[in-house]
Structures are given as structure tokens and as C-alpha cells.
Amino acid sequence: MSDRAEWQPLRDELRRWADAGRKAQLWFRDDDAIEPTDALDRLLALSKDFDLPMTLAVIPAPTGQPLVERLLPEKRVTVTVHGWTHRNYAPDEAKKQELGLHRPQAVVLDELREGFDKLKGLYPGQFAPMLVPPWNRIDKALLPELAAFGYRAVSVYGLAKPRPIPLVNTHVDIMDWHGTRGGRPHAELVELLVGELRNRFEGNEEPIGILTHHLVHDTLAWSFIETLFDETAAHAAVDWRPVGDFMN
């Protein structure tokens, strides 16, 4: 276990959970998988080394058999739908979005249906019927239509709000997208995670989601994941769960 001082607040908070006889529920989501890469191998090795479940948000349009064969032996891995092409259709002045109404709604929905069917067919034993919108953005008008295609949940970012379809969200994004575009400092991420844990201790029952992007991780990002797993994998107050456990 790491002796880094910046991780002490997490240890203290988990001790409070353990003393109360409680367990925090965590889950892990990594985005943008398409094909086997060295970075994906490194991520999957961490899942195996610490025996922790992971959810991979796979981009349906460009993916195919090579990723299927790579993931087949990974029994801890769940596959979910990450849009269709992960292409931005929003105008330059707006935030990036694939699943907005910048195109006809019927076109967007048809892609989401096709993405669901493709990944369900490719991963019959690892597929979870959840949509992960690229950039964590989806127009609210699309949400009531998703259940008809088989989707049972959506995963975006932040504390969940009432929606026409259940949300299983992420809450700690390890990347500094607006600065270095590398991993965020460990102390900053520990503070975020501790804040989420305190929120749950006070009564919010939604699981805490950790969000990563294996293709762009730097040394700081990789070391955070490894240290987080080292600190929590065997902890009495932490229960790492597959995302399917949180889908009604």
C-alpha cells in the first residue's frame, strides 16, 4: 500500500466507513475502446492483478473482431455502447456532442439502435445494455426513446438526476482535460473521491464511478489508477462492483 501523504485523507475516510461497518460501492468506467492496444493491455493487466471489475465503453462503428478476441478471456470486463462513431456534430462555438439534435432525431436514434445491436451481437457474454454518451452529453429528448432499443441505463458524469431512464454515472474523472490533458494531481483526485464518499455516507445511495481514458493516460494517470486499486481492492470498506449490478 502506498505511503504517499496525499492519500491519507482517503485512508481516514475509509476508516470511518469501516468503523461504522459500512461499505462504499465503486465502479470503474474506461472510455473510447476500439481495438487492442498496449494501453488497453496495461489497463486490463491492472484489472487482473487486483481482481477488479471494469466497464469498457466501446465505440461501435469502428470496432470489430480484434477487440472481441482480446476481451473474450477478460471475465472481469463488461462492454457498453459509446455512441456510434464518437464524432462531434455540434457547431464550433458549442460543447462537443454526438448525441444532440444537430441532426435529425431519427438518424441519431437509428445509430444508437445499431450500436446496441452490434455490440450485443459481438459480446453476448460481456455486454451490458447501457449507453455511455460521448463527452458525457446527450439531448434529453432522446432519453425516453432508448428503452425501446433495449437500453436499461445511461452513464454520464456527476450526481444522478431523475430521468426517463436510470442513470449510473461517473463522478471522478482522472484526466485534466482543460489543462495539461494528462492525469490530474493525486491530491486533487483524492479530495474529489473523499467528497463523494462523504456524500454517500450521509445517505446518497448511488455508486461512485471512476472515469478513465486509457488511450491518453500519462504516467500520472496510470499511477493514480494503480495506487487507487492498491489502496482499495482489499479494503474492508470498499466494494468494487460490475456495472450490471447497478442496472435495474
With residue 77 as reference, give the H or E element that holds it: strand 77-81
Return the pLDDT at 4. 85
Strand partners, 12: none
Domains recognised in the chain with CATH numbers:
5-246 (3.20.20.370)
**pTM to 2 decimals?**
0.96
Dihedral, CA of residue 211, residue 217, residue 220 and residue 223, to nearest 10? 70
Q: Which residue has the cell 434529453?
A: 140
Return the pLDDT at 3. 55
In the chain the first and final C-alpha atoms are separated, in Å, by 35
Q: pLDDT in tens for each of the 248 residues of the chain?
A: 445 899 999 999 999 999 999 999 999 999 999 999 999 999 999 999 999 999 999 999 999 999 999 999 999 999 999 999 999 999 999 999 999 999 999 999 999 999 999 999 999 999 999 999 999 999 999 999 999 999 999 999 999 999 999 999 999 999 999 999 999 999 999 999 999 999 999 999 999 999 999 999 999 999 999 999 999 999 999 999 999 999 97
b/e 107-143 (16+ beta carbons within 10 angstroms → b): ebbebbbebbebbbebbeebbbbbbbbbbbbbeeebb
Return the pLDDT at 198. 98
Dihedral, CA of residue 59, residue 64, residue 65 and residue 70, to nearest 10? -30
